[in-house]
Amino acid sequence: MINLKAIFTSLIEALEISDPYTKGHSERVGSLSVALGLELGLSTRELEILKDAGTLHDIGKIGVSKDVLNKPGSLTSIEFDEVKRHVLYGYNILKPLEQPELLDITLLHHERLDGKGYPYGTTDLPLLVRVAQIADVWDALTSDRPYRSAMPLAKARELMGGKDNTFGFDPGLLETFLRLTRFIFPEDDCDPFEMTNLYSEIAAIKIGDHLDKPAVYA
């Protein structure tokens, strides 16, 4: 019998070898997606999907040139077009697993409710996609990238929560998530070691044990 969790782990290991700058990003997105899902009162099945899909959402970057992924400066339009194809690569990699919600998040996590996302510019986004994409941007902003250092937590919260809705998120989910981050990260100047511990605590949450209890960070 095929062990899907083992397959997921192997795929992430392959991605992190290909793109070391995303090491830990996938797991953090999965953990933060679950934290928001718990706050929203989602079902066990939905939380498991968020954890797996958050972990695998960037798997298509395996198909993107390392020179482009690790480029320290700005990308050209051609290079950015190559990066954008990672959602299609990821969809095709995971399609044989026949997990529709997993495929939705992999394919659509860079779409936006204002129609300015990719690959299709669609605004019809399932709830689990809208949850995962918020967690994805938060971690992208607050972790080191080849082209910039991690953004301070307070600055990331300010940028994501601006009145112009810079990233085209679901406003209600975004408000809940940003409120949640104030409990998860009580200090806006958390050092990297402390943040790693906090993420480990989130990842250790046993999904089934919390569904009949009040929201963890309410």
Catalytic residue list = 61
Give the tokens for residue 163. Answer: 């009145």
Q: Is 172 helix (H, G, I), strand (E, B) or coil?
A: helix
Closest listed residue to residue 42, CA positions, set 167, 126, 124, 139: 126
Q: Is 145 helix (H, G, I), strand (E, B) or coil?
A: strand
C-alpha 100/C-alpha 91 separation (Å) is: 10
Give the tokens for residue 168. Answer: 């085209």
- Tally of CB atoms within 10 A around 217: 16
Amino acid at 159: L
C-alpha 151/C-alpha 136 separation (Å) is: 14
Cβ atoms of residues 103 and 119 within 8 Å: no
Closest listed residue to residue 83, CA positions, set 99, 72, 70, 96: 70
CA dihedral 198, 201, 202, 203 (to 10 degrees): 120
